[in-house]
Amino acid sequence: MTQRQVNVMGMTITEKILAKASGKKTVKAGDLVDAKIDVIMCHDITTPAAISMLIEKGIDKVFNRSKIVVTPDHFQPAKDIKSAELHKRLDQWAKRQKIKYYYKIGRAGVCHALLPEQGHIRPGEVIVGGDSHTCTYGAFAAFSTGVGSTDLAAAIATGQLWFKVPASMKFVLNGLLKKGVYSKDVILAVIARVGTDGALYRAMEFVGPALKGMSMEARMTITNMAIEAGAKNGIIGFDAVTKKYLDGHLRDKKSYKVFESDKDAEYAAVEEFDCSKLEPMVAMPHLPSGGVPIGKCRGKAMDQAYIGSCTNGRIEDLRIAAKIMKGKEVAIRTIIVPATPEIWKQAKDEGLFDVFYKAGCVISAPTCGACLGGFMGILAEGEKCISTTNRNFVGRMGHPKSEVYLASPATAAASAIEGKLTDPRKYL
């Protein structure tokens, strides 16, 4: 039906979702729209401030208590008195407003792993969250973007936000990934090519045969890092893999609307990648665009390995790391952070914890933790960390003179064993 509505010029999937959300037949890049929000993600760092603003402005209300999902994650369990105060404010508000989906500690997890897993993310919908990596949910053919506390407050109170419809860039992922090369390597290669502002203000639409072979977990790693190229959102079309995941996870099974880009949709740029030629990538400090093939950086000594986060803390990631670590011992501090309680349990039930324990790793509770330099693995001056996270800015994981090297769980696991940047393919 949507196809027939457009007879002048085709629309991208991002344009179609924003058109629907703003009650318009068509929109084009650059249009300002007021979009209705379907899901709002709230966590412990940016939401307490939003709550305070709403109270201060005398508009302390929620537009729909069933469309807000709350989970503390960044500093959970509370790392100090101040973060405990943030949690307290979040908790009191969630209870007072009777938020339907409030994941308290014990069920709380890294937001961008938790929301899809618990079935809150649906194709064709508009999701905002007080976190820049909210773009993750675009893997489900949804429009999803990160906002600050004021936008979050406005969305909580009114259920809508203004957006400038972004121009789209198409990323064609050709070829199939070789053994030992993962979706993390793909997105690091993409960002290395376009730069950290290469997709500024734009939608990054990922298409192509390489995606077909990727699980939803792997696809989320790609859309998760769209913000690292400056994008407003990352998006991947719906297919059988999406459907299967949703059938297994959606809590509200009512039908959802699947949009796809028209053949004559307009793109600001098209970038082609031959994924079959990709090698494992490592993003050197201090920008996510610093990706180089492992062949060009292997051997560099590391002090710590960190496997977790909204980028790569899902069960598939832990399985890959465990496969490599099985029967081996790590040479450096290695921290494993399952992203949600369900992933934690699954990893335990599958025996992955035994592998990590025997290898000499420490296993943490679900938290964003050290990814953003919060706690649970902070770096000292001069230390280097191979990490499956998404940012390697100055001081990101600790001391301003520490260094973060971004890579896949496989590369992080192999590097943990050898204590230096290591090509994971020798262990597979």
Partner 1 sequence: MAKAHVYKRYHINTDEIIPARYLNADDEKELALHCMEDLDTGFVKKIKPGDCIVAGDDFGCGSSREHAVWAIRGAKVQTVIARSFARIFYRNAINCGFYLIESDDAVEKIKDGDEVEIDYGSGLIKDRTSGINIGFAPLPDFALEIIKDGGLLEHIKKATTD
Residue 371 near residue 335 (C-beta atoms within 8 A): no
Kind plus residue range of the DSSP H or E element containing 84: helix 81-96
Contact 406, 297 (CB under 8 A): no
CB of 25 or CB of 82, closer to partner 1: 82
Q: Is 72 in the site for partner 1 (CB under 8 A)?
A: no
Contact 328, 303 (CB under 8 A): no
- CB closer to partner 1, 267 vs 393: 393
What does the per-residue mask of binding to partner 1 show for 90-129, with x meaning CB under 8 A?
Answer: ----------------------------------------
Percent composition of the chain: helix, strand, coil (DSSP 3-state, to 5): 40, 20, 45
Decide: is 427 part of the binding site for partner 1 (CB under 8 A): no
Q: CA distances (Å), 379 to each of 27, 44, 356, 359, 403, in order?
A: 47, 23, 21, 21, 8
According to DSSP, the residues that pair with 348 across neighbouring strands are none
Under the criterion CB under 8 A, does residue 88 sit at the interface with partner 1? no
Residue 90 DSSP SS3: helix
Taking the mean position of all CA atoms in its chain, how far away is CA 205?
A: 15
**Binding to partner 1 in span 285-314, by CB under 8 A:** 287
The residue among 178 and 399 lying less far from partner 1, judged by its C-beta, is 399
Candidate list 86, 121, 265, 343; residue touching partner 1; CB under 8 A: 86
Tokens encoding 229 = 């190229």
Per CB under 8 A, the segment of 236-244, 272-280, 386-394, 412-420 that binds partner 1 is 386-394
Q: How far apart are CA 346 and CA 352, in angstroms?
A: 9
DSSP H/E element including 115: helix 111-117
Q: Rounded to the nearest 5°, which phi and psi values hold at 77?
A: -60, 150
Q: Among 134, 168, 340, 388, which residue interacts with partner 1 (rule: CB under 8 A)?
A: 134
- Using CB under 8 A, which residues numbered 365 to 384 contact partner 1? 372-374
| Residue for token pair 């880009």 | 261
3-state secondary structure of 270: strand
Q: Pick the closer one to partner 1 by CB: 86 or 114.
A: 86
Could you tell me which residues come within 8 angstroms of residue 356 by beta carbon, excluding any fewer than 6 positions away?
321, 322, 325, 334, 336, 363
How many binding residues for partner 1 (CB under 8 A)?
Answer: 52
Residue 64 engages partner 1 in binding (rule: CB under 8 A): no
Of the candidate spans 44-52, 118-126, 274-282, 337-345, the one that interacts with partner 1 by CB under 8 A turns out to be 44-52
Which listed residue (9, 80, 296, 357) binds partner 1 by CB under 8 A? 80
Q: Which is nearer to partner 1, 154 or 210 (CB)?
A: 154
We find the least distance from the C-beta atom of residue 374 to partner 1, in angstroms, to be 6
**Considering only residues 125, 151, 418, 423, which one is a binding residue for partner 1 as defined by CB under 8 A?**
151
Binding site for partner 1 (CB under 8 A): 32, 45-46, 48-49, 52-54, 57-59, 74-75, 79-80, 82-83, 85-86, 130-132, 134, 146-151, 153-154, 157-158, 162, 196-197, 200-201, 227, 230-232, 287, 372-374, 391, 393-396, 400
